[in-house]
Structure 1
Amino acid sequence: MATRIAEKGRDAERTAADILAAAQHVFAIRGYADAKIRDITAMAGANPALVSRYFGGKLKLYAAALDAALDARLITDLDRATFGETIVARFVEDRTDRVQPLPIMMSGASDTEAREVARTLLHDRIFAPLSDWFGGEAAMLKAARFMIVSTGFFAYRDQLPLDMFGGPVDSALREWLISEFQAIVDTP
């Protein structure tokens, strides 16, 4: 009997994880307003009622999907001396299956509640840890500069793709990005 209960727990965890992964995909592609719970759960192979059970509804599922995609350690774990080079390499070359948070964030921009969820999570999970990592009097300014440059890069590479980002990033643009990111770290 204990084994059966443990198996049910693993199934529930797996189902919740499948719903979360499907939600990230659907919110990123369709946007928050057009994302339907039935489409998310169909992709996950789950019953729509499980969204309420595991997440508490669409808005909380959106929050969980975005929260799972935000990880400041991908930035704050880097060596400061080679920050510009490393972060640009990560941005340009890393085409893993990692969920990109920008499309999920942007998908909620037109909904008041979803926008507030995205703003709060972005502040708590990225801006505040970045500010702490940069440290000093200009910490918040540095975090803001980092977010502006990186968001611009991802917006024009992934959301509104410009031809310049269709293949390898132009070497002059790459060098400029490296310089900008390194300057954020190096400037007192």
Structure 2
Amino acid sequence: MPGPTEPKKATRQRDAERTRTAILDAAQTLFSTRGFVNTGVREVAELAGVNSALVGRYFGSKEGLFRATMERVIDISPLLRGDRRRFGVDMVAALIDNEDASGPLAMMILSAADPAAHAVSVEFLQTKVIAPLARWLGPPDDKGRAARLNILWTGFLTSWKLLPIQPLGEAHLATTRRWLEAATQAIVDEGSA
């Protein structure tokens, strides 16, 4: 028979998970719109609807919160489980059809003003995108191809969402989408030739 403290413990765990999630959601919003330097722990806590002391309790510091937020938003591995012959289509769908696709890139770009946050961004880009992508691509030139894909995608997202250029507006997005799918797939297929 369960003791009287077990239900309370389960409730506390759910509340802790909900609080942690609310803090990470708020941090992601603020880090991707205002940047690391211009985001304070109090503002994150306020947006999350929690006491600012909880941010320190869960993440240790603002840098710990940034690291946890990056850990949450940057991960290419789910896309690497799909059909290799459809990778261009699937990857571009993830970029274009996902409202938050530019958020991680914005977080990384906006972290450049702080050396520690910038180092975290570079680390996560390397460990969560470039390295797994290179392993998945395989020889020849696995790292070079992974880098070229990253350049292609970040260039597109920057020109479409962060520093929008008119030719990437809705009227031309379909043709740009087809081009990006083909360009992505061509780099993936270089190893199959």
Distance 1:158 1:134, change over 3 A: same
Q: Kindly indicate whether the alpha-carbon contact (under 8 Å) linking 1:24 and 1:99 is maintained by their aligned counterparts in 2.
A: no
- Out of 76, 81, 87, which is 1:83 matched to? 87
Q: Structure 1, residues 42-75: CA drift from partner, whole Å, max 9, x if none?
A: 0101110111110010011011111100111243
- Runs of 4+ residues deviating >6 angstroms: none
Quick one: structure 1 residues 99 and 170, their matched pair in 2 at CA, closer, same or farther if it must change by over 3 Å? closer
Counterpart residue identity of residue 20, structure 2: A
Farther off after superposition, 97-106 or 60-69: 97-106
Shift of 1:84: 2.0
In 2: Cα distance, 1:76 partner to 1:33 partner: 33
Equivalent residue, structure 2, for 1:130: 133
Contact 1:130 1:143 in 2 (8 A): yes
Structure with greater helix share of residues: 2
Q: What is the CA-CA distance between 1:96 and the residue it aligns to? A: 4.2
| TM-superposed deviation, 1:175 | 3.0
Deviations 1:83-121 (A, max 9, x none): 2233223322x1345673101111211110000011111
Q: Which residue of 2 aligns with 1:177?
A: 180
Q: Within the alignment, does 1:33 sit opposite 2:18 as a pair?
A: no
Offset at 1:144? Answer: 0.3
> Using the alignment, how far apart are the partners of 2:28 and 2:7 within structure 1?
31
- Give the SS at the match of 1:75: helix
Residue number among 4, 12, 24 corresponding to 1:8 in the alignment: 12
Work out which of the residue numbers 150, 164, 169 in structure 1 matches 2:167: 164
Alignment TM-score, normalising by the size of structure 1: 0.92
Q: What amino acid does structure 1 have at the position aligned with 2:8?
A: R
1:171: Cα distance to partner? 4.2
Shift of 1:6: 1.7
Contact 2:149/2:184 (8 A) holds in 1: yes
Residue pair 1:142, 1:185 contacting (<8 A) in 2 also: yes
Give the Cα–Cα distance (whole angstroms) in 1 for the partners of residues 162 and 54 of structure 2.
31
SS of the residue 2:60 aligns to: coil
**8 Å Cα contact 1:83/1:182 also seen in 2:** yes
Aligned to 2:117: 114
